[in-house]
Structure 1
Amino acid sequence: MEEDRDSDSDDEIEYSGMIQPPLIRQLRTILSEYPDDGQILKEIIQNAEDAGAQCMKILYDDRPVVQSPSTKKAPFRKYFAGPALLVYNDAKFSEEDWRGIKMLYSSIKEFDRTKVGRFGLGFKSVFHITDYPLIISGDQLLVLDPHQDSSKVCQTMKLKKLHKYKKMKVEDCLEAFSGVFGFSQNTLDSGNFPGTILRFPLRKEETELSDNIYDKSKVEDLFNSFKDEAAVSLLFLKCLESITLLREEDLSKKVDIGEFYFSVYIDETTVENVRSSRDDMKMQIKDVQNGLPSRCIENSYFMTICVKDDACNTMTRKWKVRNLFQGENNMSSTLRRLSCDESFSYSPYVGVAMEVTCPVDFQGHVFCFLPLPSTEKSLSGLPIHVNGFFALSQNRCVVKWPTADQIRNHAHTDKSIQWNQVLVKEVLSDVYCHFLRELVEESCLENGELNEHRRAVSHCIPNKNLVDEHWKILIPPLVAKLKEEPIFFTPNEGGKWIPKSQAIFFRPGKEVDPTIRKILEMYDQNTVDVEDYIWETMELQGCQEVTPDFINKILRTSDKYMDCSTDDKFSLLRYLLSSNQYNILEGLCLLPLQNGSFIKFDRTNRSTKIFKTSRSKMQLLVGMEDHLLQDLPTDIDELFSTLISKGTVVWENCQDVTSIILLILTSNFTPFMSILIYYDIKPL
């Protein structure tokens, strides 16, 4: 038995790796997750951005170059065939970039907080277009051929030695590249290209990799999808300053390949400031390496973006942009834990942008540095664009949120969903608050433009009824952070910004007589007009509103209102009595006499006798105007009738004018209240 045990213990465990599917099958799986649409160009733009490029050009080269088929003696020909889509940028690949482009599911950018494309899949979407991506950068040329044996998929060559490689026909390379982005025989002689060219020969027939045949119309679709979003494509990038689309349809052309078709670029009036702000923030983030700064890193700038078409029509839009990389000192424990999770590797980075002119039809969009695919409805429902290191779906088209079942059952959510929620609640609410504060501060520096800034600040406040359900988690922390911020504009003292605690609000939907506004201005009140949605979102219920009680209160602080015109005083009477609090007039000099003066509604003065009669009867009482109520507008007259019916004032019938005169001249009449209004006076 002992021997059996010993012999059993000598047996070796059999180890083996997981069986991997062929590369072609893996690529087909990736392509099934990435749509064949404008997302392809976004992935290519993202790669140029991460390489640090400032300028990018995309060329559709329709020329049928290198049409001879590949042979055993010239196997590389197919890599140079045309038509093709070519992409240029002015940055060179680093050694890490060369390694990264050869990775399938991981990325050398994975732990680099300054990079956008850190997941290793995006570039592979170009296999929708081609079977043979070719890259020239610096001194190297790389072909990716997934149809080769797994050990030969990546074929790297030195430009200067291109003519020495067995079976490589340099003339094929020159036919495809000469005159394209400055490439020439001199490039091969020097062995260096000052930038990067990606070339994608269009797939002309079905292959094992894909049955997606690419032609001119599909390239046009790619270009059009980019044009639709071009005006905002540069907003949140950290390096790129221009992207140009080119086309070459002259089949015989050999030099200066590419006719201008479309471009988007940062205007020269703002590009230097934008570049400086971007570079400064990148350096500060790079300084903390893969850690977190103790304090937040932020920048803010105005950016003018121009879009130019092939008819040389140029559209210009000015934006205000603010970015925030949250500091560790301002993080909750949850945000800190997720930010430091190496298996997760996201950065607490969020930005916001608003078009300065605040167009009425503006809809906020969501970016992960480049805009996510558009839908009919705004992705967020917010009135500004939002950018961030959001956790996205596998195809990187939508932000990950909990499902309806998870919400309903309060089920556990994975880290990526937790990340998005805490990023919105903490970092987005912070940068949003800072953005509004900065708008206010900038308005104070620009004379004569307060009204424009007032509109901009109001525009930025979300309408919580329009905000998407997933994004509504932003509202409570944002409102809390804005509680004492001076984001409400009052015209008082020439115009200034105040917090809600100092504001007197005109309630939305309630028409206010201009006289009331005049009175509030006369008494130096901080009046603020707000729209319905701001009233609701900012939770202004309970704040001081303009009401009859409030007007009554300020009228008693001074007698300034006595300088108002008769019509204005009538308007005051209407407004005060609209509260149905008839004692509200006590002590106010708003009782109109026939002599043109106004006296107090005063309960303590028991000797004053005021009579009300018709205009014709008043003519018989010449010299007694200080005892007669003024002939009133119909609605005011009705209000006084209500006062009498409520017992606020008392009246008695007098039979004739003689009785009136006797009552005025005698002093032994003791009225029920200090002011008596007598009706039904008959003429002599």
Structure 2
Amino acid sequence: MYDPVGRRTASGARSKDTTVPRVQYPSAQGRRFPWVTVRHECIGPRSYRVSPVTSVQDVKQLIYEETNLPVKEQRLLHNGRILDDSIRIGTLAPAGSSHVYVTLEGRGLKGGGRFGQTTPPLVEFLKDILRRYPEGGQILKELIQNAEDAGATEVKFMYDETEYGVESLWSPDMAQHQGAAMYVYNNAVFTVEDWNGIQEIARSRKRDDPLKVGRFGIGFNSVYHITDVPSIFSGNQIAMLDPHQTLFGVNESGQCWNLSTDRKEITELADQFAPYMGMFGISEKTIKDGSFPGTLFRFPLRMKPSQLSGNIYNKEKVLELFESFKADASTVLLFLKSVQKISLHVREPDGTERMLFQATATENPDDKLERPNALKTLGQAIDNYSNGVLSSTITCVTYQVNIETQDETAKETNRTTWLVCNGVGGRGMCAELDSLADNLKFMPIIGIALPLTANNQEDKGAAFGFSGRAFCFLPLPPGEESETGLPVHVSWLLWPHRQPQEHQVARSGPVERSSSLVE
């Protein structure tokens, strides 16, 4: 729906008022804001919510802004009749309906005139991402990767069944997103780069930092398997994304609010922001203070098929996500440098919260500085390589880490001690590897993890009969493709999407680089 007051969008720009002139009509007529859908065989249907007094000329201008087809080359037809530019859309709506359908003809779209390539609609772009990114626990891993990149030490997932009020919302269309949702919290705060990066889905701002686990950025959009309207509350801002571009205005894919400058509106739209209150320390005081010292994602579950996805999510499917994640929980923290704790929670309709599962990484109690010091040394070696400092040696650090998983449902606690070794190649040791690393923004870093003990057993050395898997900092999806047959887990930067290689389009660069690392 268009924005009647020109409020800010997630990009910081003011949304456009497409209704001129602005005339108030009684809402009882049901035609205050009619929809006009423009149909064309090449560009597909495009819908706009406008005023009854919006003219055909105004609609042509909207089409021009989306397609670059000049207004003078457009013809709009209604029931086979060419529409004059002065006709008002409201006069075309059938009795009892607020939807107008017109057909577009234009020289640049049919047989002559303007010609050129265009980018696909945002929804189509995201649908292609969803086809390439798997469902299941991998979605949770993508969000853990983003938290790792931000330097967070803790990540919490929560399923919330609460149904929130629908009286004071941005628009009535937001009511469908006030129900059950999955939340993801981490204790780091979005930077300006993060806010910009999450809006630029076609390119990731993380590519320039070879140590960023989720540096391909595009993986965040796997959350659209679950939701149509993800939102982010971090620092001094709340933002909502709308890839269908129907909630916040024509061609507007999001909206953001600043806790200080937009406090009055946040307070007035109490139901709209109620889903955040009481979650992970957020309260009315947070709004008054103007800042939240963490990041909270909210993903309202998709309750009916949308243009973006036909996936329907409910409590059962969210808990399946949790179970899928639990299968890898004992190894998820192995090669991460920042995140030390991950937990799964549910919030019942009455507001009762309970923890289902928790995984924690801790240092060797005999030497709590061993792991932090090792990671500091590793970080320095990575910085040297990135800055072009020549070295004829491989920097290798080794430390022990204890992974404890606590399953509250099964009333089980398991603890495994691992020996982890990470190595970084020296710049200048292999010209071919340096060239590949620079061109692909990769880093010659490799890690291995060997299980020593399990379930608090006495340390008797390496576990017998253990079969390892491939990691790209986090475990790749389970299956034969990620099984290495080695007696250790192995982590290294493989290819741009953390999926089995057979699912990728052939990319000689990453494959060459993986071979160079192994050699």
Q: Normalising by structure 1, what TM-score?
A: 0.54
Deviation at residue 361 of structure 1 after TM alignment: 3.5
Kindly tell me: are residues 383 and 20 of structure 1, through their superposed partners in 2, closer, same or farther at Cα, counting changes over 3 Å? same
| Aligned partners of 2:385 and 2:426 also within 8 Å | no
- Matches of 2:265 and 2:390 in 1, distance apart? 50
Distance 1:166 1:58 in 2: 25
The Cα offsets for residues 90-124 of structure 1, whole Å up to 9 and x where unpaired, read as 11111111111111121111010221112221000
1:298 aligns with 2:396: yes
CA contact (8 A) 2:363 2:400 kept: no
* 1:189 equivalenced with 2:288 (yes/no): yes
Aligned pairs for 1:165-314 (under 5 A) are 165=265, 169-173=269-273, 175-249=274-348, 251-253=349-351, 258-267=353-362, 269-270=364-365, 272-286=369-383, 288-289=385-386, 291=388, 294=391, 295-310=393-408, 312-314=411-413
Deviations 1:653-680 (A, max 9, x none): xxxxxxxxxxxxxxxxxxxxxxxxxxxx
1:278 positional shift: 2.2
Which residue of structure 2 lines up, in the alignment, with residue 607 of structure 1? none
2:512 equivalent to 1:418 = yes
Separation of aligned partners in 2, 1:324 and 1:400: 27
- Once residues 398 and 322 of structure 2 are traced to their aligned partners in structure 1, the CA distance between those partners, rounded to angstroms, is 31
Deviation at 1:293, TM superposition (A): 5.1
Distance 1:109 1:304 in 2: 29
Pick closer, same or farther for the CA change 1:305–1:285 going to 2, 3 Å: same
Please state whether the residue corresponding to 1:328 is helix, strand or coil. Answer: coil
- Aligned partner of 2:75 in structure 1 is none
Change (3 A) 1:201 1:285: same
- Asked whether the equivalents of residues 420 and 449 of structure 2 are also in contact (C-alpha less than 8 Å), the reply is yes
Contact 1:69 1:78 in 2 (8 A): no
Structure 1 residue aligned with 2:95: none
Structure 2 SS opposite 1:335:
helix
Relative contact order (alpha carbons < 8 A, sep ≥ 6): 1 or 2 greater? 2
Please name the residue that 1:155 is paired with: 255
- Quickly say closer, same or farther: Cα 1:215–1:69, change in 2 above 3 A: farther
Q: Distance in 1 between matches of 2:452 and 2:375?
A: 20
What CA deviation, in whole Å up to 9, does each residue of 1:20-72 have, x standing for no partner?
A: 11101111111111122111111011000111111111111122223569674
Change (3 A) 1:196 1:287: farther
Q: Check 1:354–1:160 CA distance in 2 against 1; reply closer, same or farther (3 A cut).
A: same
Tell me the amino acid that sits aligned with residue 243 of structure 2: P
Percent of paired sites with the same residue: 37
2: CA distance between counterparts of 1:27 and 1:378?
A: 26
Answering whether residue 136 of structure 2 is matched by residue 37 of structure 1, we say: yes
Please point out which of 351, 363, 369 is paired with 2:447: 351
| Aligned mates of 2:276, 2:206 — CA distance in 1 | 30
Q: 2:204·2:216 contact (CA, 8 Å) conserved in 1?
A: yes
Q: 1:89 aligns with which of 180, 186, 192?
A: 186
Name the aligned partner's letter for residue 226 of structure 1: F
For residues 137-163 of structure 1, what are the alpha-carbon distances to aligned partners after superposition, in whole Å with 9 as ceiling and x for unaligned?
111111111121575213221123444
Amino acid across the alignment from 2:194: D
Equivalent residue, structure 2, for 1:100 = 197
In 1, Cα distance between equivalents of 2:402 and 2:266: 51
Supply the distance in 1 between the matched residues of 2:215 and 2:301 (Cα, whole angstroms): 27
Hey, what does 2:236 align to over in structure 1? 139
What is the CA–CA distance in structure 1 between the aligned matches of 2:207 and 2:469, rounded to whole Å?
Answer: 26
Question: Residue 500 of structure 2 aligns with which residue?
Answer: 398
Matched residues in 2 for 1:65 and 1:347: separation? 46
Are the equivalent residues in 2 in contact too, given 1:180–1:258 (CA < 8 A)? no
Bigger Cα Rg: 1
Say which SS state the counterpart of residue 340 (structure 1) adopts.
Answer: helix
Summarize the alignment of residues 174-573 of structure 1 with structure 2, pairs less than 5 Å apart.
Answer: 175-249=274-348, 251-253=349-351, 258-267=353-362, 269-270=364-365, 272-286=369-383, 288-289=385-386, 291=388, 294=391, 295-310=393-408, 312-331=411-430, 333-341=431-439, 344-357=440-453, 358-376=462-480, 379-392=483-496, 394=497, 396-399=498-501, 414-425=508-519
Deviation at 1:164, TM superposition (A): 2.7
Quick one: structure 1 residues 424 and 400, their matched pair in 2 at CA, closer, same or farther if it must change by over 3 Å?
farther
Q: Which has the higher strand share?
A: 2
Separation in 2, partners of 1:401, 1:200? 27
Counterpart contact for 2:168–2:270, Cα < 8 Å: no
1:586 maps to: none
Equivalent of 1:57 in 143, 156, 168: 156
Equivalent pair of 1:58/1:244 in contact (CA under 8 Å): yes
Matches of 1:157 and 1:199, distance apart in 2: 15
Partner of 2:322: helix, strand, or coil?
A: helix
Structure 2: unaligned runs, 5 residues or longer:
1-112, 454-461
Relative to structure 1, the CA distance from residue 361 to residue 338 in structure 2 (aligned partners, 3 Å threshold; closer, same or farther) is: same
**Displacement after TM superposition at 1:269 (Å):** 4.3
The 3 A distance-change label for structure 1 pair 95 and 317 is same
Cα deviation, residue 306, structure 1: 0.4
AA aligned to 1:278 is L
Q: Which has the higher helix share?
A: 1
In 2, Cα distance between equivalents of 1:186 and 1:69: 20
Residue pair 1:92, 1:195 contacting (<8 A) in 2 also = yes
Q: 1:623 is matched with which residue?
A: none
Using the alignment, how far apart are the partners of 1:197 and 1:160 within structure 2?
18
Q: CA deviation at 1:286?
A: 3.3
CA distance in structure 1 between the partners assigned to 2:363 and 2:379 by the alignment = 21
Residue 39 of structure 2: aligned partner? none
Distance 1:187 1:287 in 2: 41
User: One-letter code of the match for 1:360?
Assistant: F
For 2:335, the aligned partner's letter is: F
Task: After superposition, give the CA deviation of every residue in 1:546-602 in whole Å (9 maximum; x if it has no partner).
Answer: xxxxxxxxxxxxxxxxxxxxxxxxxxxxxxxxxxxxxxxxxxxxxxxxxxxxxxxxx
Using a 3 Å threshold, how does the CA distance of structure 1 residues 138 and 167 change in structure 2: closer, same or farther? closer
C-alpha RMSD of matched pairs (Å): 2.7
**Is the 8 Å Cα contact of residues 396 and 424 (structure 2) preserved in structure 1?**
yes
- C-alpha separation between the residues in 2 aligned to 1:376 and 1:416? 20
Whole-Å separation in 1 of the counterparts to 2:221 and 2:369? 34
Contact map agreement 1:285 1:297 (CA 8 A) in 2:
no
Instruction: Determine the C-alpha separation between the residues in 2 that align with 1:261 and 1:97.
Output: 30
Displacement of 1:277: 2.5
- Given residue 398 of structure 1, which amino acid in structure 2 is its aligned partner? P
> For the structure 1 residues 240 and 96, does the alpha-carbon distance in structure 2 shift closer, same or farther, using more than 3 Å as the test?
same
SS of residue matched to 1:110 = helix
Distance 1:84 1:145 in 2: 16
Deviations 1:170-227 (A, max 9, x none): 3431x31222101100110101101100110001111111111111111111101110
Q: How many aligned positions are there?
A: 392
